[in-house]
Amino acid sequence: MIKKYNQFITEADEVQETPEGVKNLDSTKYTDLQNEIKKMIDNTIENSGGEFDSFIDSYIKNPEDVKVEGFINDSDIYDFYLKFRNDIDEILNNLMFYDKSPSELNAYGLYDYVIKGTETAFIELVKMIK
């Protein structure tokens, strides 16, 4: 039987609904993705200085101003999406990201929509690392 992607994602047993309608994310499920982000943050800190925990706090507070090496240009973000697209799509589905229209996100093209979604998932994963 062929299932739709949304149907496949919503069948995950380890995900529970929260009162706000957003599903809890199982942080142990995305260890490869979290490890990749930790490496990227470590490389950024190695090149520009700082401490891991304070960098994460700064990034969560202001992701537009704090840049992570390897996640700066749209092409880097798109490559990151391609590498981890299944996990990122699952995270975005759990965050109800796909319920928002592209115009709500100020994404007026498919490429912009993918970039905005990947950035949203990235921020959520950084929160999980904390």
One-letter amino acid at 79 equals D
**pLDDT tens per residue across span 111-123:** 999 999 999 999 9
Scored b (16 or more CB within 10 A) or e, 76-88 reads ebeebbeebeebb
pLDDT on residue 125:
95
First to last CA, the chain: 39
Distance CA 32, CA 128 (A): 13
Structural domain boundaries of the chain? 28-129
Residue with structure tokens 């709500």? 104
**pLDDT tens per residue across span 47-81:** 988 899 999 999 999 999 999 999 999 999 999 99
